[in-house]
A and B are shown apart, each in its own frame.
Chain A
Amino acid sequence: MNAAAPTRWFAGVLAAAAVLLFALPLLGLLLRAPWADLPTLLADPAVHRAMGLSLLSSLAALALAVAFGMPLALWLASGDSRLRTVARLVALLPLVLPPIVAGIALLLAFGRNGVLGGWIATVTGGALPYTTAATVLAAAYMGMPFFVLSAEAGLRAFDRRQLAVAATLGAGPWRRFWTVTVPLTLPALRTGALLCWARALGEYCATQMFAGNIDGVTRTMPLACGLAMEGEPATAIALGLVLATTSLGVLFLLRRGLLGEAR
């Protein structure tokens, strides 16, 4: 016990330093926040446009992530094969890929001169970069892995025998999915969806590279925040507060889910 005490004390200091590392930037934001001018700053029509666009593109990205990510997670969770391992690696890459690389890669794939650029131009009659659709795609690209990861973990953890029971009771695959799979994996799906949405909402770097920074078209809140920091830091901090509060709200909603599923 005598030997353990200094060790514990040392670990405690390191842990406290870690908490400080995360608390101080938040404190900086709060201390420098132009509280008195906040209503005026946030009432700016340009800020409203950025907020509206952020809400629209992050929700659209989430919808894409669920629509395409759920089937992917179902397949990934349905067995083990080399193909699945490779597909999982590719689909989860944006979790660890530097966002600027993601932006460049998106441009090379979906840009005008990209791999699919010509095809996109033929189908839609226009180019993808510098459009709201590009903003949505960038946000979905960065956010979807969170949903897939969480959904697959939830699907692998849930007891498949219940599906077999439902089948013997005459439920078809569609009905089994909605009445058994979804309700029983809901906490994992919810965690994945919230993390995906938060990541989509905060997307900056890939968006700037792939979608540009056009007022009302691709200038989401993080882009407006970054732009304002160069000329009107007060606006940047005000936007930063809104984004930070939203992020904290997401974490609050997740407070059980983040540790809960594994148990």
Chain B
Amino acid sequence: MGTFALLGAACGGARAPAAPTPLRVFAAASLAQPFAALAEAAPDDARPRLSFAGSAQLALQLQQGAQACVFASADAVTMHKVVAAGLAVGEPAVFARNRLAIAVPAGNPKGVRGLADLARRDLVVLLGAPDVPAGRYARQALQRAGVAVIASSDEPSVRAIVGKVQAGEADAGIVYRTDCAVAGVTGVPLDPAHDVVAECLVVALTSAADPARALAFVERLRGDVGRRILARHGFELP
């Protein structure tokens, strides 16, 4: 039911024709910080209107007819859903890579050292839902490590996970390494043998009111300005 509320919010709003239609960018929650920085650095007329949510939620909104110019996903599976639905212009491009980390409250009060600890019964563990990229990556990593988490809460996005860990209401959550650079959260890296490389992809959308500006945004993101900002926020570059 919350999903439908989101759908309404995403589709709503016919704008007054005076200003040029804002460039509407749908981006995965894990990309919130670099995208906000990129928007800030953009000239006034090219400043995009950003909409952040779990990639799966955004893909669903696009499939249900939400209007956007650019889609940036935190994984290839979700991106391919949007491509398969015929909503993308050209091939999506990998513009950044990320790795996983276990987010724990600052100072790591429960002494979480790695994935194996997440099987402990005394921990409240949060994962992304199975269709949320971070959830899919987390399950891959847990499988590689041979760890079975007893009961974990499926959260709609990495932001939701980080928020609950930050508030101290959850003991651990698997997120991206870049998500752990906030106050109140400590990131515990994964054993490299279990870690997963998360690929962030971007594509211009057929529903873009102004395709040239949509492509220009993608170029900026993949160009020097975008790369500098992504690197500053801890992303690896292709």
Binding site for B on A (CB under 8 A): 107, 111-113, 127, 129-130, 202, 204-205, 208, 212-219, 222, 225-227, 229-231
Instruction: Judge if B85 is at the interface, Cβ distance under 8 Å.
Output: no
Residues in A neighbouring B169, C-beta threshold 8 A = 107, 111-113, 127, 129-130
| A198 and B14 alpha carbons, distance in the complex (Å) | 35
Asked if A204 and B129 make an inter-chain contact with CB atoms under 8 angstroms apart, the answer reads no
Residues in B neighbouring A202, C-beta threshold 8 A = 1
Interface majority SS (helix, strand, loop, mixed), chain B: loop
Residues in B neighbouring A127, C-beta threshold 8 A = 124, 169
| A130 and B168 alpha carbons, distance in the complex (Å) | 13
B1-39, CB < 8 A from A: 1-3
Pick the residue among A212, A217, A218, A226 that contacts B2 (CB under 8 A).
A226
Given contacts A205-B2, A212-B154, A230-B132, 10 further A-B contacts (CB under 8 A): A112-B169, A113-B169, A127-B169, A129-B170, A215-B151, A216-B151, A222-B1, A225-B1, A229-B60, A230-B129
Asked if A213 and B155 make an inter-chain contact with CB atoms under 8 angstroms apart, the answer reads yes
Measured CB to CB, the nearest residue on chain A to B63 is A233
With A229-B3, A231-B56 as contacts: A112 and B168 at CB distance below 8 Å: yes
| A230 and B169 alpha carbons, distance in the complex (Å) | 25
Residues in A neighbouring B130, C-beta threshold 8 A = 231
Instruction: Judge if B152 is at the interface, Cβ distance under 8 Å.
Output: yes
Number of interface residues of B (CB under 8 A): 24
Asked if B168 and A230 make an inter-chain contact with CB atoms under 8 angstroms apart, the answer reads no
Contact sample, A vs B, 16 pairs, CB 8 Å cutoff: A107-B167, A129-B170, A204-B2, A205-B2, A208-B2, A212-B154, A212-B155, A213-B154, A213-B155, A214-B152, A229-B60, A230-B60, A230-B131, A231-B56, A231-B130, A231-B131
Q: For the complex formed, measure the closest distance between the CB of B33 and the CB atoms of chain A, giving whole angstroms.
A: 22
Report which residue of B1, B60, B130, B132 has the largest number of chain A beta carbons within 10 angstroms of its beta carbon: B1
Residues in A neighbouring B2, C-beta threshold 8 A = 204-205, 208, 226
| A99 and B156 alpha carbons, distance in the complex (Å) | 16
Residues in B neighbouring A208, C-beta threshold 8 A = 2, 156
| A59 and B1 alpha carbons, distance in the complex (Å) | 21
| A107 and B124 alpha carbons, distance in the complex (Å) | 15
How would residues 121 to 151 of chain B score, 1 for a CB under 8 Å from any chain A CB and 0 otherwise?
0001010011110000000000000000001
Report which residue of A107, A113, A215, A226 has the largest number of chain B beta carbons within 10 angstroms of its beta carbon: A226
Instruction: Judge if B73 is at the interface, Cβ distance under 8 Å.
Output: no
Asked if A130 and B153 make an inter-chain contact with CB atoms under 8 angstroms apart, the answer reads yes
A-B complex: 5 closest residue pairs judged by Cβ atoms: A212-B153, A231-B131, A230-B56, A230-B131, A213-B154
Residues in B neighbouring A218, C-beta threshold 8 A = 153
Asked if A111 and B167 make an inter-chain contact with CB atoms under 8 angstroms apart, the answer reads yes
Q: For the complex formed, measure the closest distance between the CB of B236 and the CB atoms of chain A, giving whole angstroms.
A: 27
Instruction: Judge if B57 is at the interface, Cβ distance under 8 Å.
Output: yes
| A244 and B36 alpha carbons, distance in the complex (Å) | 39
Residues in A neighbouring B153, C-beta threshold 8 A = 130, 212-214, 218
Residues in A neighbouring B131, C-beta threshold 8 A = 227, 230-231
Q: For the complex formed, measure the closest distance between the CB of A223 and the CB atoms of chain B, giving whole angstroms.
A: 9
Measured CB to CB, the nearest residue on chain B to A114 is B169
Q: For the complex formed, measure the closest distance between the CB of A126 and the CB atoms of chain B, giving whole angstroms.
A: 9
Asked if B167 and A217 make an inter-chain contact with CB atoms under 8 angstroms apart, the answer reads no
Q: For the complex formed, measure the closest distance between the CB of A23 and the CB atoms of chain B, giving whole angstroms.
A: 16
Residues in A neighbouring B152, C-beta threshold 8 A = 214
| A208 and B54 alpha carbons, distance in the complex (Å) | 15
Asked if B126 and A212 make an inter-chain contact with CB atoms under 8 angstroms apart, the answer reads yes
Residues in B neighbouring A205, C-beta threshold 8 A = 2
Asked if A230 and B155 make an inter-chain contact with CB atoms under 8 angstroms apart, the answer reads no
Q: For the complex formed, measure the closest distance between the CB of A194 and the CB atoms of chain B, giving whole angstroms.
A: 19
Residues in A neighbouring B124, C-beta threshold 8 A = 127, 129-130, 212
